[in-house]
Amino acid sequence: MTGERDLIDELSRIFGLPPPQVVCGIGDDAAVIAGQGGEYLLWTVDALIEKVHFDLTYMPLRQLGRKALAVNLSDIAAMGGKPRYALLALGWPPERDLFGALELARGMQEVAQETGVTVIGGDTVSSPGSLSMSLTVLGQVKKEELLRRDGAQIGELIYLTGPVGLAAAGLETLRRGLTLTETERTLLLQAFFDPQPQILAARVLARNHLATALIDLSDGVASDLFQICRRSNVGAVVESTLIPVPAPVAEVAAQIGKDPLELALKGGEDYLLLFTSPPDREKALYLHFSEAGLGTPICIGKIVRGNRVWLRRPEATQDISGMGFDHFRLKEL
């Protein structure tokens, strides 16, 4: 085993084939269980650990609460569904003021109210050393509106619901204390602290059958598009000139001596949607997004034969399959 993917494959083997009412198990954004009356239950769980997923030296606890829930709702959105309920298990360091736990809960409740989700409750335990939490969210989707990672077809177009790299640039700004204009700084930090789960955009895609494969951008385009390719048995070509890299991302990249495209494609934590759609649905796609008051989706490339993700730049074409944040690429076994 050399990475998170291999570990997940091994775990699938141990847990075996699920019964038929489990429509989708390990390997998508959420587990899917067939319910009654053509409704599917969507179910996710996520562990967030201090110093791995967040750093409390620059992340206020209320923001952490907001983000923790938003990220989980994003997983439900990525299946085309509506999030409904959340349960929280909180591991709180005994030396940390308990009022901080209430701040965290307040942030979570803000996002819950914004998205029509009910935080039902959970479990609180003492956690020496670092703050950890796990959130589990239940959502629902009609059987015929379920969106998965595995439906991409050769010839289809690849879209993003917004510009990428803002969250990663925000994190770099915090980490390195970069100097930016106030407007740039606000934009980047907001993207990093307060991702907006794309529930409406995903519902528009699902309801109108506009997407064939969908994932939310947690690890970055390179890594997440590779997941769609793996699951769909296809390859992808991304055009460097089509990637929406906002000016503040380019500015941060320049300051830290990085390629802006790398920051945009590998940064992660954007929590936008990445999806594929047949070319003949392009008009309908733009129309439905516009009618819903959503920004126009941005086409960044095409699904092709093969099993790799290619970035076509003016100077050369580069294999970017799976470049991103793989939690276990730390040692070989």
Structure tokens, 186: 């606000």
The neighbouring-strand residues paired with 319 are 310
Q: Is 269 annotated as a binding residue?
A: yes
Please, what is the minimum distance in Å from the beta carbon of residue 27 to a copy of itself?
Answer: 7
Q: Considering beta carbons, is residue 12 or 255 the nearer one to a copy of itself?
A: 12
Q: Considering beta carbons, is residue 14 or 316 the nearer one to a copy of itself?
A: 14
Q: Considering beta carbons, is residue 50 or 184 the nearer one to a copy of itself?
A: 50
Residue 64 CA to residue 110 CA, distance in Å, equals 12
Q: Is 290 annotated as a binding residue?
A: no
Q: Is 100 annotated as a binding residue?
A: no
Q: Is 139 annotated as a binding residue?
A: no
Residue 202 CA to residue 195 CA, distance in Å, equals 15
Residue 13 CA to residue 142 CA, distance in Å, equals 29
Q: Is 305 annotated as a binding residue?
A: no
Around Cβ 330, how many Cβ atoms within 10 Å?
A: 9
Helix (H, G, I), strand (E, B) or coil at 230: helix
Q: Is 219 annotated as a binding residue?
A: yes
Around Cβ 99, how many Cβ atoms within 10 Å?
A: 9
Strands in 39-49's sheet, in edge-to-edge order, are: 22-24, 31-34, 39-49, 132-142, 82-92, 118-126
Are 321 and 229 in contact by the 8 Å Cβ rule? The answer is yes
Q: Considering beta carbons, is residue 51 or 295 the nearer one to a copy of itself?
A: 51
Where does residue 37 rank: exposed (0-12), middle (13-18), buried (19+ CB within 10 A)?
Answer: exposed
Tell me the CA distances in angstroms from 63 to 27, 48, 126, 188, one per residue in order: 28, 14, 21, 14
Q: Is 259 annotated as a binding residue?
A: no
Q: Considering beta carbons, is residue 132 or 173 the nearer one to a copy of itself?
A: 132
Residue ranges of the annotated binding site are 29, 44, 46, 53, 75, 122-123, 149, 216, 218-219, 269, 325
Residue ranges of the annotated binding site for substrate are 53, 269, 325
Residue ranges of the annotated binding site for ATP are 122-123, 149, 218
